[in-house]
Chain A
Amino acid sequence: MEKQSAIVFDLYEKMSAQKIISAYHGEFTQQVINMLLKQAKWDLLQRNTEKITTKRTYGVMVECLENILKHTTLLRHSGQIEANIDGLVILGNQSKDYYITIGNLIKKEEVGILTERMEKINKLDRDELRKHHTEVLKKSEISAKGGAGLGLIEIALKSGSKLNYEFNNYNDTLSFFAMQVIISTNIQA
C-alpha cells in the first residue's frame, strides 16, 4: 500500500491548485446534503459573493446533490453492493466564477436517456431553455425517483452555462457519471 501521508499531501496540493473550496467523497444521505449546503452557504457568504450568484450557486448545488442522492440510493436499493456507491462533489472558485463538479456511478442503461436530456438542454439558448422548463413543469408527473428531468434544466438555467459531462466505463453494469457546471457571474437576462 502506498504511503497514506504522501497521498494526502498530493491530494492537498492538487486541490489547492484547482482552487477547491470544499470537497466531499462518501455516502450521500439527506443529512450529508444538509451539512454540505450549510457549509456552502457559509463559504459563499465569506467570499462576499453577490446575492444573486450565491442564490444561483446554492440552487445548482441542491440539484446536483439531490441528483447524486437519487442515483446512489437507487443503486443501493438495487442490490449492487459489490460496487462502491459513494458520490463525489466539489465546490470551487475559478477567477470570478464558481464551479461545482459531481461524480457518481449510474446504471449503464440510464446513460442513454441522461445523455439525450443533457444534449437537448445544451442545444437550447436561454429563452428556449425557459420554455422547455415550463413545458416539463406543466406536464410533470413526479416520478417515483423525484424530479422528472426538471433538475438538469434548472442547473443549466441557474448556471447560465452548458452541462459539461462525461461517462466513464466502470464495469459491466455501471458507468461513472461526471459533470462540471460553471456558475457564470454574468448571465444575460
Chain B
Amino acid sequence: MEGLYIEPTETSPKVHFDPEAFSFEISGESRPEDVRKFYKPVLDWFEQYSNYLYWLTEKYAEGEKKLVQFHFVFEYFNSSSAKYIMDVIAKLGDIQKASPNAKIQILWHYDEPDEDMKEAGEEFETITNIPFKYIINPD
C-alpha cells in the first residue's frame, strides 16, 4: 500500500509512514491553524492501514508476531492538537485489536529535561490504555 508523507511546516509536524519498510514517524511541532484539516488524512490513512496489516499478518503461523513500531517525536504540540494526537493513538489501539498477529508499539520520544512532554505521553497512555515505551532523545 502507499505510504503517507507530509513534509513539516512552521506549524505542522512531519509525517512519514512507510508501510513497506515498517517505518512510521511523526515528528516536530504541531499547532496547525486548522487542526482537523491536518489530522483528518492521517486518521483516514490508518483506516486503510488497518486492513492492510490484517491481511499481511493474517496468514502468520501461531505465535509468530510482526513488530510494528510507531515513533512520536514531538518537539511541541498545542492544546488543540492534543485531542487529535489522542485520536491517532486510539486508532493504533483499534489496529492492534484488529490484527492480533501484529504487535503495535508506541515509542514516545522526549528531550531529557522536558518532563512535560513525558507526562503528556503518560497521559495519552492512561487515557487510551495502550502501552508506551519512552525514549530520551540524544542531545
Contact = CB atoms under 8 A, between A and B. Distances in A.
A34 B127 CA distance: 31
Contact of B10 (A34, A134, A158, A189): A34
B82 A55 contact: no
Interface stretch (A8-16, A96-104, A114-122, A142-150): A142-150
Nearest to B111: A51
B23 interface: no
B31 A140 contact: no
Contacts of A140: 83
Given A133-B123, A134-B126, A58 B82 contact: no
Interface string B75-88: 01011101110100
Chain B binding site: helix, strand, loop or mixed by DSSP?
helix
A62 B35 contact: no
Interface string A127-153: 000100110011010100011101101
Contacts of B127: 134, 137-138
Contacts of A63: 78-79
Contacts of B116: 52, 55-56, 59, 157-158
Interface in A49-79: 50-52, 55-56, 58-59, 62-63, 66
A59 B119 CA distance: 14
Contact of A34 (B11, B80, B111, B123): B11
Interface residues of B, number: 24
Chain A binding site: helix, strand, loop or mixed by DSSP?
helix
Nearest to B79: A150
A30 interface: yes
B7 interface: no
B113 A137 contact: no
A59 B79 CA distance: 9
Interface of A: 30, 34, 38, 50-52, 55-56, 58-59, 62-63, 66, 130, 133-134, 137-138, 140, 142, 146-148, 150-151, 153-154, 157-158, 189
Task: Across the A-B interface, give the 9 residue pairs with the lowest CB-CB distance, nearest first.
Answer: A150-B79, A151-B79, A147-B80, A154-B79, A51-B113, A52-B113, A30-B33, A147-B79, A140-B83
Given A34-B10, A146-B80, 19 more contacts: A51-B111, A52-B115, A55-B76, A59-B78, A62-B31, A63-B78, A63-B79, A130-B119, A130-B123, A134-B126, A137-B123, A146-B35, A148-B83, A150-B79, A150-B80, A150-B82, A153-B79, A154-B79, A158-B116
